[in-house]
Amino acid sequence: MSNQIFIDPVEFHNARTSEVKLGFTIRDEYGRAYFDEWDSIPQLDADFLLKVVDCVCETGDEGPLCDAFNILRYMCDNEVIIFVGGKECNYEEVRDLVKGRMG
């Protein structure tokens, strides 16, 4: 079975303070990362994915989202199953979109 990548919009709830933060999680069989500093989450999957990729690319492969960067790089280099917001996406479309942003 090939590696699968999951990218999901998330509301993070602090159980003690009731504070809510917005962001995303990204994971595969080898790593995971999250980000919780957005003001809003785009409703369209394509817009959400672009925001994730831009966020991850800002930090690069040595920043706090290095695991996320490596997951996206792996996705660009290998044909994998990708789920964005719980929906399976077309690999070629997502790969091309991500490669265009990552360089």
Q: How many domains does the chain have?
A: 1
Q: Could you tell me the two tokens for 24?
A: 């995303």
Q: Write out pLDDT tens, residues 35-78.
A: 999 999 999 998 999 999 999 998 888 888 999 999 999 998 88
Query: Which residue range(s) make up the domain with 38?
Result: 4-102
Give 11-30 pLDDT, tens digit per residue. 999 999 999 999 999 999 99
Rounded to two decimals, the pTM is 0.90
Q: With beta carbons less than 8 A apart as the criterion, state whether 48 and 84 touch.
A: yes
The confidence score (pLDDT) of residue 1 equals: 47
Sign of the Cα torsion 77, 6, 35, 47 reads positive
